[in-house]
Amino acid sequence: MRTVHSMGDPTPTTSPELRTPNPRQAKTWDKAKRLSALLSELQARRCTTADLARRFAVGQRSIQRDIDALRRMGHDVVEHAGQTYSIPRSGTLLRPAEALAAYAAIRLAHHHSPALNSHYRHALHSISMALPERIRHTLNASVRDTGATPFAERQMEMVATAWMDGRVLNFDYRRPNGQLETGNELCVFFIEISRDNLAPYVIGLERRRRGQVRTFKLSRMVNLSLHQDTYEPDPDFDPQQFLSDAWGVIGSDHPLTVTVRFAPEAAYRVLEGGFPNATLIRRDGYVEMEFRAGVDRSGLPRELLPFLLGWGPRAEVLSPPHVREAWLAELRETLARYDTPPARNTA
What predicted TM-score, i.e. pTM, was given to this entire model? Answer: 0.58
Q: How far apart are CA 184 and CA 217, in angstroms?
A: 13
Which regions of the chain are under pLDDT 70? 1-27, 29, 82, 89-93, 114, 145-152, 244-253, 343-347
Q: How far apart are CA 144 and CA 107, in angstroms?
A: 9
pLDDT for residue 2: 34
pLDDT for residue 39: 87
CB burial string 229-244: b at 16+ within 10 A, e below: eebeeeeeeeeeebbe
Describe the crossing of helices 117-128 and 133-141 by its angle, rounded to 10 degrees. 160
Output helix, strand, coil percentages for the chain, rounded to the nearest 5: 40, 25, 35
Helices assigned H by DSSP within 179-320: 239-242, 264-271, 304-309
pLDDT for residue 30: 75
pLDDT for residue 135: 87
Q: What is the DSSP letter of 58?
A: S
**Listed residue (156, 329, 310) closest to 247, CA to CA:** 310
Nearest-5° Cα angle at 189, 67 to 220? 145
